[in-house]
Structure 1
Amino acid sequence: MYIHLGLGVVVREEDVIGIFDLENTTVSAVTRDYLKRAQQENLVEDVCYDLPRSIVVCRDYISGERVYITQIAPATLLKRSRAEIGGIPFRKHGGHAGRKE
């Protein structure tokens, strides 16, 4: 399965390492340092034409990793995926296991 990140960029779902909310994660100095290093190593690809909302870290078979900056909200990206984290189906609070939402 593939996940559309914006501007025609799609990634294989199994290559996604993490999806992070840009506003919340960039508060941390560790995250800022990670993004700075990734930019210096040309691993960051901006796939948005509007206000960025998410960071998507993916496995890349050439460089080892790729970081995408996208305008799509993390929750939307998760819904576009199979919505499983570590083999456990993702569900909203109050949802029922086994029920698709």
Structure 2
Amino acid sequence: MYFHAGQDFVLNTRDLIGVFDLDTAGASRRTEEYFRHAEADGAVVDLTAPGTLPKSFMVTDFPDETVYISQLSPAALKKRAEGSDLK
């Protein structure tokens, strides 16, 4: 099933590896290093609207490992992903 991940972008729930809170996970040195490598590989997609702060990031494995940064909270993304299974 698909769900809206922000900025008119839709993801397939089966491609989703995880949804992470930028406030907690973003403070980690390992997460910072992971982002640095992902950016160097061109695997980071920013879904935030101009002028808004990102709240979460999602890691997917299709077509390759990609990181999507979203202005939506992890709770909102979880609710959307769970709600898409009901349709």
Per the normalisation by structure 2, the TM-score is 0.88
What is the one-letter code of the residue matched to 1:26?
G
1:14-73, Cα deviation, whole Å (9 max, x unpaired): 100000001110111000000110001000000011110001001122xx2110000000
Aligned pair count reads: 81
SS at 1:60 equivalent: coil
Aligned position for 1:69: 69
Aligned position for 1:19: 19
How many angstroms apart in 2 are the aligned matches of 1:82 and 1:6? Answer: 16
What is the one-letter code of the residue matched to 2:26?
T
Structure 1 gaps of 5+ residues are: 84-101
How many angstroms apart in 2 are the aligned matches of 1:36 and 1:56? Answer: 15
How many angstroms apart in 2 are the aligned matches of 1:57 and 1:75? Answer: 15
Runs (4 or more) in structure 1 with deviation over 2 Å come to none
Per the normalisation by structure 1, the TM-score is 0.76
Structure 2 gaps of 5+ residues are: none
More helix by share: 2
CA root-mean-square deviation: 1.1
Aligned position for 1:43: 43
Is 1:31 equivalent to 2:28 in the alignment?
no
What is the one-letter code of the residue matched to 1:56?
M
